[in-house]
Amino acid sequence: MSTGVLLINLGTPDAPTPDAVGRYLRQFLMDPFVIDTPAPLRWLLVNIAIVPRRKYRSAEAYQTVQMPEGSPLLVHTRALAHEVAQRLNSAGENYAVEFGMRYGNPSIKSALQNLKSCGVSHFIVLPLYPQYAESSFETAVVETKRSARELGCEDLLTFLPPFYNDPGFINAWAERMRANLNPETTDHLVFSFHSLPVHHLTKFHKDDHSRPTAGCCTEISSANQNCYRAQCFATARAIAAQLELHPDDYSVSFQSRLGRAEWIGPNTVDVFEDLARRGIKRIAVACPSFVSDCLETLEEMGMRGRKTFLAAGGEAFRLIPSLNADAIWAAAIAHWVRECASQPSLTATHTGA
């Protein structure tokens, strides 16, 4: 019997149209892990205040990055699953690899059904989120368990944990950046991570439920080991160390804010403007909380972020591509899967609790 491998990514609308984007946004924003307000208020916020207006603006943004084969996130995730399958089966091994989206299509349940129809003996599940957050990693785990329960295979699941500081992930990003960075034409590097509301993180600072600050995120400890912001800083430090960067050579910031809640920072837009005001004219930007290029990397950073930096006085802006289906990245995933498969009793589920 074969081993099933399920790669999970966030998801994307079925088409870059207002109706398709609206359906996607409703599914995404109605997730209580994303907007953690009481269900009736969340319904009003999503269906009355957010989606009716945002679906048109977001559809226009999706249209600017759409590829002939579909949305970038879908295209790159499909290609990654293919690359991982090739590496896993290159030595005559028997792995079945599928990918599913937490929101949109193909769904997690449909991916599990495909694997189950292959007669797999167990499922190794990798949510493609480097850093732990309830609104990304945890909701993917919960949805996978729910879908597997309906299919009668929940007890066959093994989840690989977040990989924010795993050498395979760090090396893949470092090599990606070496191939796309010219030190002679780059004055500064910005690591831009997806932001989160501050209150999503306070529960993961176990000493006193304190607010995440720059000081508390300088290292991973028992008090903040599941803190998303601390893990983002750890990712940036590890990549920078492999690239032999001085701390003054790079900045860490957070993008993709939504709504009026207080979000973790510093805000990427503010960092771009500050760098330009300080006379730093040429920057490169990497987004290591995203393993696949998507709206947030290509449009938010590559288009709007570039415009912001140049308008503030910058002269050159380079967006470093995400890992996508990079060979080194696919090899790292294949290595994790083989390690897990060699220990069938391993239960690597990470709940964040």
Could you read off the pLDDT of 203-258 as tens digits, one per residue? 776 655 556 665 567 888 887 888 999 999 999 999 999 999 999 999 999 999 88
Could you read off the pLDDT of 137-147 as tens digits, one per residue? 999 999 999 99
Residue 134 confidence class, pLDDT cut points 50, 70, 90: very high
State mean pLDDT over 66-74: 97
**Who's near 171: CB < 8 A, 6+ residues apart?**
242, 328, 332
pTM: 0.93
Residue reference for tokens 């003996």: 121
Residue 285 confidence class, pLDDT cut points 50, 70, 90: very high
State mean pLDDT over 129-150: 98
Torsion of CA 343, 347, 352, 353, to 10 degrees: -140
**Which of 118, 57, 53 has its CA nearest to residue 299?**
57
3-class secondary structure, 7: strand
**For position 274, what pLDDT does the model report?**
98
Residue with the larger pLDDT of the pair 347 and 136: 136
